Structure 1
Amino acid sequence: MSMIAKFVGPRYMELAKAWTPSLMAFGAAGGLLGLYLTDWKVITQYIPLYGGKYKETRDI
């Protein structure tokens, strides 16, 4: 028996198992929404080959 099950109880463990797929779907949707709402440059600058287009050149 896991340590969490000792504190929570079997009924709530079964409820957590039943809700896990839904929570994962909502978490993924929330993550994608957060990615959509952020500045794309912040995320895409770390993608190899694609992030090179953000390198700034300074004209002195």
Structure 2
Amino acid sequence: MLERLIGRTPMQLLKNWIPTVTTWGIVAGITVIYATDWKVIVGHIPYIKGKFKTD
């Protein structure tokens, strides 16, 4: 009954927003990689780092 008077609890609201925040976080991360020099970022990935050597 108390929930009917107050509405949803903050935890319920947070659980509803988790997928949205996750999606926008991934989109923001991809945008940052696209907007910057992607070889600099990919250079920090151990396996892929060796593929871009200019020697």
TM-score where L is the length of structure 2 = 0.63
Unaligned runs of 5+ in 2: 1-7
Q: Which amino acid aligns with 1:30?
A: A
The answer to whether the 8 Å contact 1:44/1:51 transfers is: yes
Q: Secondary structure at the match of 1:22?
A: helix
| Identity value in percent | 35
Structure 1-normalised TM-score?
0.59
Residue in 2 that maps onto 1:36: 34
Tell me how large the CA RMSD over aligned residues is: 2.0
> Structure 1: which 5+ residue stretches go unaligned?
1-9
Q: C-alpha separation between the residues in 1 aligned to 2:24 and 2:53? A: 32
What residue is the counterpart of 1:54 in the other structure? 53
Deviations 1:8-27 (CA, angstroms, capped at 9, x unpaired): xx710100000100000000
For each residue in 1:13-51, what CA deviation from the matched residue of structure 2 results, as whole angstroms up to 9, or x when unmatched?
100000100000000000100110111220233453x54
Partner of 1:21: 19
Which portions of structure 1, spanning 4 or more consecutive aligned residues, are displaced by more than 4 angstroms?
Answer: none
